[in-house]
Structure 1
Amino acid sequence: MASKAQVLQVPGPGGVVRDVRVSSPDRVMWPETGLTKWDLAQYVVSVHEGFLRAVGDRPVTLQRFPAGIEGEEFFSKNPPRGVPDWARTTTCTYPSGRSHPQLVIDEVATAVWAVQMNTVTFHPWPVRTADNDNPDELRIDLDPQPGRGLADAVEAAQGLKALLEELALTPWVKTSGNRGLHVYCRIRPTHEFLDVRHGVIGIARELERRMPDLVTSAWWKEERGEKIFVDFNQANRDRTIASAYSPRPLPGAPVSMPVRWESLRDVTASDFTIRTVPDIVAADGDAWAGIDEAVGDITPAIALWDKDVHERGLGEMAFPPDYPKMPGEPPRVQPSRARK
């Protein structure tokens, strides 16, 4: 028999207190830990300040697990039915050209309601609702390939930090909640997605030149080797990364956790879980507390792309397989098959 619904009282704007109903609060979301839907709702409230700094005023895709992380999962782009009166949506345009609304999380009560709808991971777009076409975040995903691990990603991230600072950008780092790292920079929303993607490719290629034995920008897995892949296609429209403080649907209930650069070499992925993160934040604060005040310019990164195009003869890179064919894109086929 399903457990009786419980109501979580959540602080709202202007001193308002929201009552958010959580049905089946005893539903186990992470079987090996016994963590429940109620535990998840309480976790979101406990880290709400940093979490809202990461997702607030952005379209958000919800990764939902109606029977826990070992059951069926799906991504909600359209807001689930029953959106509360205090929540809002914003209309996004997708690569296909179609548009529809997505949920915006402006207050913690909306996040708790999303948990009520069995959301585990929150995937915000890198845009604000005032301009859904021009990103205000540059996001770089450092993805260790087989044979590499978090320590290697840390080394690549340190090299990336130096490069980004040369470009007058302020980098912020977080664990992915798995094996990799995510590096973010706030940018002024002056360019659309394709331009920002080109800036990320320019950064990826330059980092690969500086760290050729460790870093790769090769899209095809067969060409990456045992390196850290800079996933430039995460910069595309409708491509999202798990937000800061977002739980991940993996054993142990890990969290994608902001960390300070000076502490990065000492962290392990298992340090940050739904159970441990609230106490860490209470003791140390939010490692990304200053991110909104550190806004840079994407044009120096785009200049790296332009230099590669005009001086080195490098061109467009492959897009994800579900994307429409893009101008200048190379054949969307594995190199080994193309040679045949």
Structure 2
Amino acid sequence: MATPAMQLDVQGIEVRLSSPDKIYFEDLGISKLDLANYAMSVGDGFLAGLRRRPTTLERWPGGVREGMKLTTRADGKGDAFYQKRAPEKRPDWVDVAEITFPSGRTATAITPSNLATIVWAVNLGTLRFHPWPVTAPRVDLVDQLRIDLDPQPGTDFGDAVGAALELRQVMGELGLESYPKTSGGRGVHVFCMIEPVPFVVARHAVIAIGRELAHRMPEKVTVEWWKELRGQRIFVDFNQMARDRLMASPYSVRPVPQARVSAPLTWDELPDVRPDDFTVVTMPQRYREHGDVWAPLYASKPQSIDPALRLYELGLEQGLTDMPYPPEYPKMPGEPPRVQPSRQRKID
């Protein structure tokens, strides 16, 4: 018999948790209540990564089971789904803001301002939280530069770490103090706080940084958007800096049997860790011992990306162009043909 719903006191706010004993990760026996307790155990750090940021919820209401899949644009069927719009029925302490999608359509998104909102979302089956790199109410100005180092087939987390360490050097030379975290999978994410700029401008900065990194590590790193050109290299996914793209927040839970989490790290410890070191089971102890190691990121002074933009402009002078946008975007100014090279050759 299922356990009745219960009320959790989350920093003075009562949050209803239905079916608290419902299992979400079978191999580990992790229940919905365990996930709520996990979120509260890392609460200040979890909230710091989401605070007032429009956030897409990745909901797995049936838990994580073998064979379950996430609904995508290409396949409208699945067991889990992304929720970009705030639920119409929500507590009055769940803050929201209006956002604009690449199509020009608008929507109301949640912008967490308290830990109770995170626990409320966990009750909806949310595992991963995907915050935009903007802060309400200035939702069209990027204030957090994010670089996604994505291992391609034939590469692994160790390769991403090597690229991240060199990336730190590149960004440092451009006056950007950066902070790494695991993605929860095989990749590494690198963040820094910046002076607010439009999305297109922030994306150009990431393209320039990615190109410089690929120039220094041509056998190991690529910025090629088309998969057929990437090879066995780490891909700098510059389009994660475009509007309405998804990147897991620190402490988000990845929907894999190990219940890995996206773990904020210091640069000193990055070379010695593995993604499996950080799970719903292990992270609370780490947090008790070290707190949120990304607290210095949030306290840091916003930095100018002008040096990175000068690097981007230099590339244009040398014959480089902007890069293709994601397929759901309208044609963007200065964008090259959005056709993969092999197909372009056939057309020619």
Q: Please give the range of the TM-score, normalised by the shorter of the 2 chains.
A: over 0.9
Which residue in 1 is equivalent to 2:14?
19
Q: Within 2, Cα distance between the matches of 1:31 and 1:192?
A: 43
Instruction: Verify: 1:32 aligned to 2:39, yes or no.
Output: no
- Could you tell me whether the CA contact under 8 Å between 1:5 and 1:23 is conserved in 2? yes
CA apart distance, 1:3: 3.0
Task: State which of 159, 167, 178 in structure 2 corresponds to 1:160.
Answer: 167
- Which residue of 110, 114, 117 maps to 1:110? 117
For each residue in 1:54-99, what CA deviation from the matched residue of structure 2 results, as whole angstroms up to 9, or x when unmatched?
1101111100011112341111111124211111100001100111
Q: How does 1:270-289 map to 2 (within 5 A)?
A: 270-289=276-295
Uncovered stretches (5+) of structure 1, i.e. residues with no partner:
12-16
Shift of 1:303: 1.1
**2:73 — aligned with what?**
none
Secondary structure in 2 matching 1:199: helix
Partner of 1:308: helix, strand, or coil? helix
Which of these residues, 183, 193, 213, is aligned with residue 207 of structure 1?
213
CA RMSD of aligned residues (A): 1.0
**Which one-letter code corresponds to 2:22 in the other structure?**
R
The answer on whether the counterparts of 1:65 and 1:119 sit within 8 Å (CA) in structure 2 is: yes
How many residues matched? Answer: 333
Corresponding residue for residue 119 of structure 1: 126
Q: Distance in 1 between matches of 2:192 and 2:228?
A: 30
1:85 paired residue number: 92
State the one-letter code of the partner of 2:10: V
Query: 1:140-187 CA deviation, whole Å, 9 max, x = no partner?
Result: 000011111111111100000001111111100000000010000100
| Residue 303 of structure 1 pairs with residue 298 of structure 2 | no
| Residue 230 of structure 2: aligned partner | 224
Q: Distance in 2 between matches of 1:94 and 1:19?
A: 33
1:42 aligns with 2:48: no
Task: Name the SS of the counterpart of 1:20 in structure 2.
Answer: strand
Q: Does 1:316 pair with 2:311?
A: no
Q: 3-state SS of the aligned residue for 1:259?
A: coil
1:176 aligns with 2:183: yes
- Between the aligned partners of 1:251 and 1:22, the Cα distance in structure 2 is 23
Equivalent residues in 2 for 1:243-254, closer than 5 Å: 243-254=249-260
Contact kept in structure 2, 1:69 and 1:250, CA below 8 Å? yes
Q: Which amino acid counterpart does residue 319 of structure 1 have in structure 2?
A: Y
Unpaired runs of 5+ residues, structure 2, are: 69-78
Task: Please give the secondary structure, in 2, of the residue aligned with 1:261.
Answer: coil
Give the Cα–Cα distance (whole angstroms) in 1 for the partners of residues 24 and 16 of structure 2: 17
Runs of 4+ residues over 6 Å off in structure 1: none
Q: How far apart, CA to CA, are the structure 1 residues paired with 2:46 and 2:314?
A: 37
Say whether the 8 Å CA contact 1:126–1:240 is kept in structure 2.
no
* Aligned with 2:298 (options 292, 312, 317): 292
Q: Displacement of 1:31 after TM fit?
A: 2.0
8 Å CA contact 1:233–1:319 kept in 2: the answer is yes
Letter aligned with residue 257 of structure 2: P
Mapped pair 1:10 → 2:17: no
Secondary structure of the equivalent of 1:136?
strand
Distance 1:316 1:10 in 2: 46
Give 1:166's aligned amino acid. Answer: E
Partner of residue 255, structure 1: 261
SS in 1 for 2:161: helix
| Distance (Å, rounded) in 1 between the aligned partners of 2:87 and 2:28 | 28
Pair 1:57 & 2:52 matched: yes
Structure 1 window deviating more from structure 2 (66-75 vs 218-227): it is: 66-75
Q: Determine the structure 2 residue equivalent to 1:14.
A: none
The one-letter amino acid paired with 2:24 is M
Q: In the alignment, residue 46 of structure 1 is paired with which amino acid?
A: S
Q: Distance in 1 between matches of 2:328 and 2:265?
A: 33
1:329 paired to 2:329: no
> TM-score with structure 2 length normalisation?
0.94
Please say if 1:68 is aligned against 2:63.
yes
